[in-house]
Amino acid sequence: MNTKEFVEKIKNGEIDIVEHTENVIDECKKINKEYNYFNIISEELALAQAKEIKRQIKNNDSIIKNKKLLGVAISVKDAICVKGVESTAGSKILKGYKPLFDATVIKRVKDAGGIIIGKTSQDEFGFGSFSVNVGLGFAIPKNPFDKTRSCGGSSGGAGGITQKASFPHIALGESTGGSIAAPASFCGVFGLCPTYGRVSRYGLMDYANSLDKIGTLGKSVYDAALLLEVIAGFDNNESTTINKPTEKYTESTNKNIKNMRIGIIKESFANIDKNVGKNVREGVKKLEEHGAKSEEISLKLPIEHGISTYYIIATSEASTNLAKYCGMRYGISEKLEGNFNEYFTKVRSNNFGAEAKRRIILGTFARMSGYRDAYYIKATKIRAMIVSEYKKLFKKYDALVSPTMPIVAPKFSEIEKLTPLQNYMMDIMTVSPNLAGLPHLSVPVGFDGNMHIGMMLTADHLREGKLIQLGNIFNN
């Protein structure tokens, strides 16, 4: 049963929402024992929401008719605040923190009748491509098709539960440099990352303010579009949201793609797995069969300089954002001993993981007096040039195509052998659209053995509808 049919059945009283939610929670618990997709399952909140929906249906409340997500299970990346539910961004330093408010996206999901089922596992504060950089004491999520492999990062739990759930479900993820696209590719689902500012970041625990975007993951393009339709739009609480009308994104799933123009980024096919390249090319052929027109294009600057530009800007912003977690006003506290510097050092050393410490150090160095011009300021200039390169191409093309990831989901034993730099290079295709604030969609286009391969479609700012049009061709 697809999500649209499910919502109608709930509205008509054909499904007992409380009983259904109990079954959903039971299934999540069973999946979690094997795959570690949740940091916490919000059973109490989910059942309270289900009972309220049942009451509204019983009373025939007119408000029910307009609830687009009525009864649909929504998982939430742990970096997004949910009132009264432990929210840690996957870090030991925030263990025990229960927000006193809902993030804007959570409020909108609740208003639309969505049921919050839990907080999904992730790399600590979003620092990773494989969800192996989880915080101290957290479990690493496993690929839904092979438990010895990664399900991608940093929204790893979101991608995994989206693939594994047998019930109608959509995930809220978050991306800074590819954290929605990567797990979507490795787990064989659709990952939709909107234009920067299209969705409010109010209530999101920051990684890098100028890059972070909340997006959606679904088993179908319709599901990803439906949740985006609910959460998108201006928010008075958040200064970077775009004050422009949103589209009815689900309507784009009904449009054909005849004569849409696709640019194939030739540089994105260098140094990737052979089968990845082959399947992405097959994906382009499928678009052509439905009337799209494609040609190869060059996008040299973002591919060659995207990684270095991204990691300078992202780590600089991260080091600033994470400074507040020092055990005084924010973050876990310890026994106050010695002077403040010694206390802060103890709190941060004991509660941040290795990758969080690495990025704090990198970012602090890049923005230090004497280095700021050489690194951070230069990176911001390259970023502006990257935006300009994309904008030139979008004058001619509706969307650009590349592989989402250069490889299929790697084994954990393989990831252990990678250097930090090799880890960072995995984001080579995904960082530049995030640097430019562009919307992008990862769609499953094939397999290498039983491992999924993703193709990424990137469009101009506020052109999510075009991505949904094109991505709908790949629905099973």
Pairing, β 399-403 against β 451-458: antiparallel
* Distance (Å, whole) CA 115 – CA 46: 6
b/e map 330-347, b = 16+ CB within 10 Å: ebbeeeeeeeeeebbebb
Starting at the edge strand found earlier in the chain, the sheet holding 115-120 runs 38-41, 115-120, 73-77, 169-175, 213-218, 190-193, 440-448, 451-458, 399-403, 261-265, 293-297
Residue type at position 60: N
Q: With a threshold of 0.95, does the pTM exceed it?
A: yes
pLDDT for residue 336: 83
Q: Which of 96, 76, 81, 77 is nearest to 330 (CA)?
A: 96
Residue from 123, 169, 161 nearest 144 by CA: 161
The tens digit of pLDDT for each residue in 177-216 reads: 999 999 999 999 999 999 999 999 999 999 999 999 999 9
11: enclosing H helix or E strand: helix 3-11
Active-site residue, selected from the candidate residues 121, 154, 268, 316: 154
pLDDT of residue 421: 84
Catalytic residue (one of 121, 179, 252, 268): 179
Question: Does the pLDDT of residue 476 top 70, yes or no?
Answer: no
Give me the pLDDT at residue 189, please. Answer: 98
- Is residue 324 classed as helix, strand or coil in its secondary structure? helix
Asked if the model's pLDDT at residue 45 lies above 80, the reply is: yes
Match domain 3-253 to its CATH number in 1.10.10.10, 3.90.1300.10, 3.40.50.2300, 3.40.50.150: 3.90.1300.10
Categorize the per-residue pLDDT at 173 as very low, low, confident or very high, splitting at 50, 70 and 90: very high
150 included as an active-site residue: no
Domain ranges of the chain: 3-253
Question: Among residues 77, 107, 119, 142, which one is catalytic?
Answer: 77
The answer to whether 316 is a known catalytic residue is: no
Distance (Å, whole) CA 72 – CA 116: 9
Q: How far is CA 131 from CA 69, 126, 165, 298, in A?
A: 28, 8, 19, 31
- 77-101: average pLDDT: 97
Backbone angles phi, psi at 92, to 5 degrees: -60, -30
CB 34 within 8 A of CB 60: no
Question: pLDDT tens-digit profile of 342-394?
Answer: 999 999 999 999 999 999 999 999 988 788 888 999 999 999 999 999 999 99
8 pLDDT higher than 90 = yes
User: Which range has the worst mean pLDDT, 119-128, 334-343, 428-437, 443-452?
Assistant: 334-343
Q: Is 432 a catalytic residue?
A: no
**How high is the mean pLDDT of the chain?**
96
